[in-house]
Chain A
Amino acid sequence: MRNLIITGIIGAAVFIFLMVLYPHVLISPGEMSQGHQDIKQQCFSCHQAFGGIDNNKCIACHALADIGKDSLGTATGSVSMGEQVLFHKNLDKYACTTCHTDHAGLNPASAMKGFEHELLPKTISNDCIACHQKPVDKLHQQLTDACAKCHTTKAWELETAFNHDMVQPTERDNCLGCHQKQVDKLHQQLTDACAKCHTTTAWKSEIAFNHDMVQPATRDNCVGCHEAPTDAFHRTVNNDCAKCHSSDKWVPSTFDHTAYFRLDDDHNAKCATCHVNNNYNAYTCYGCHEHTASNILQEHREEGITNLNNCVSCHKSSSEREGGEGGRESGRKGGDDD
């Protein structure tokens, strides 16, 4: 047992010695940044035993007054071209670890916890292009340097809708200067006068689509742009949409079946029962009634009706008061006069 204790003590001492000799391997929580590689075995260059990171240890190498970034330009005159933007100059009251860390990898960018623009003097934080490169795309070329009108220091993506009034008046109506034209079938046949349907506040049209803008040759081909309804009824009809619908609105349909024939309880049938071969320009009643023209003729001969091609001229519904027994007068008139 005694030997075991002595072995344990010697083993522990050896391990502690190795820790002191190779702290970077045994106790460092991660790779130091590229600039600190020379001191990666010297923990107390930055750390103070039981005291964290002392600002003075950082400042000993990185003087606040020297830390800066070469200016890229200026919008407010906060800095001259080529001069350094000294954004650490007045930050001596903050701990360096507020923004910086280490042991996060070789890349120095990994050692940034996030840039707090609020810590900067207003003269610098308002002069965005002193540090940031202004985008060189067509949109930003024609805008002023008042970046804060669209962007914040928290995120580059816009938090509010883009104000189109900032675009130069000569370019403001040239939507395709910035936006890509939709490549769908509808927009391909339209002109570039986007404002006829769209506004600068929303892409979804705030005004009704003017079908007159569609090329005359394709204007009647509704299914070229609209998807044909797939319900049971529309699957049986052809694509002559204008017969029932207008370009103003889809619902309600302009077609009124009752004007021709009322589909009451006795005629709750499938369309194809009367309109055979998907032909809605014609109909037949023989599918259910008497089945042949000669049988119908026998029924109507005593009434003196001989024109049997247009039943609905007398029979507007299943009511016996129309046409048939109860409506001989009107039936005769309808039948014979047609």
Chain B
Amino acid sequence: MNGEGGAAGIFINAAYLLAGALFIYGLKRLSSPRTARAGNQFGAAGMLIAVVVTLLHWEIVSFTWILVGLVLGTGAGLVMARTVQMTAMPQMVALLNGFGGGASALVAGDEYLRFSAGAIAPTVDVQTTIMLSVIIGAATFSGSLIAFGKLQGIVTEKTYMFPAQKLFAPLLVLGMVALAVFLVATAANLPLYVALSVLALFLGILLVMPIGGADMPVVISLLNSYSGLAAAMTGFVLSNNVLIVSGALVGASGLILTNIMCVAMNRSLGNVLFGAFTAKAITGPAASAEGLVVRDVTPEDAAILLSYARSVIFVPGYGLAVSQAQHQVRELADLLQARGVQIQYAIHPVAGRMPGHMNVLLAEANVPYPQLVEMERINPEFDRTDVAVVIGANDVVNPAARHDANSPIYGMPILDVDKAKSVIVMKRSMNPGFAGIDNELFYNENTRMLFGDARQSLTKLIQEVKAGA
């Protein structure tokens, strides 16, 4: 740390080191649901230490305004954390990402103000990090707000391109780089710096607007990574190592999650981010559904099928979250389990609107976590399963991904639901899903369709299973 020497400086740095170590230890404990809660608390303790030490020992002149900021932030954070619905978790995380990025950009801006006031002469390296910090932070802020808006339904969920965006976006990036280089090379120029910040805000909007609702898990992960990078850059600006370490951890975390999401969708990051720019027509039609027969099933028959099964796997998708049916699923599962049926849940990595979303929703409904099984581990089990129940999932169970090279989802890893002895698909109607792709699973000989709202269908199934008991 610059600015602090002697014993006090050593004490602050030791405390920051402890905070950084607690963050790493806390994240390590997230490797199991048993230890995860304590892990998060270790992280919180690390944060508390870092904040208290900063308040006590840094050259802080005025506490009044700090208190105002702390009180406002704590109040808002508390209310958000307490009241948010688990289904709305992606929006919440998007918003938090945005605040983190925004804070980093503001800190960098404040440092630049100091330079332009002539308080200290900045060096080239510090200037450079100030530029990076404000660009990443501001773009994270605006991009996250757009992501929040899309998830909340305020901004269109569909791909949206501004007129001439294809031409304009690269020019914008080039312009920003040129501006940043100019700012580093010359004397402080506040209006230009403000212009750079505004352009960065605009860039964030441009980057997220073209991304469709189904690709949101990737974008949230990426923005998560950016918010970490922004914090790390702020650490460079202030030569503060605890910011650098924590920012790097979060940056790495976001990148890993981004990669997992991309692999699970069989798409490159470039394709997710810029797919709308190069959207190419799918060559040749995917296998047509014409002449195929759909077999539907009544709740009565479905209940009998389930009651006499030895093993059942539930396959929840985003549709389950939309109809808030996670509690009904768990109730049905409980009834079946009481009859001796073995129950598992198959969770595709991109089920829901953010990584791990489905697990949280089911945990909220009191499903024990050993029953939540990842794709790689559950896929070999479908062979030996009597009934697979698909609720509000579509693309992630489409067998075309395995063999139909003309299908847009060809190559995407899927849940091998079709290998179960029977499959019950709960679906509103035969309309294809968001991606507009026909699902050949629905026409399989061992598939039965249970049409209607997932929640109502599940309620009927619960009644039927109870009546049959």
**Do these two chains really belong together in a complex?**
no
Residues in A lying within 8 Å of B, measured CB to CB: none
Residues in B lying within 8 Å of A, measured CB to CB: none
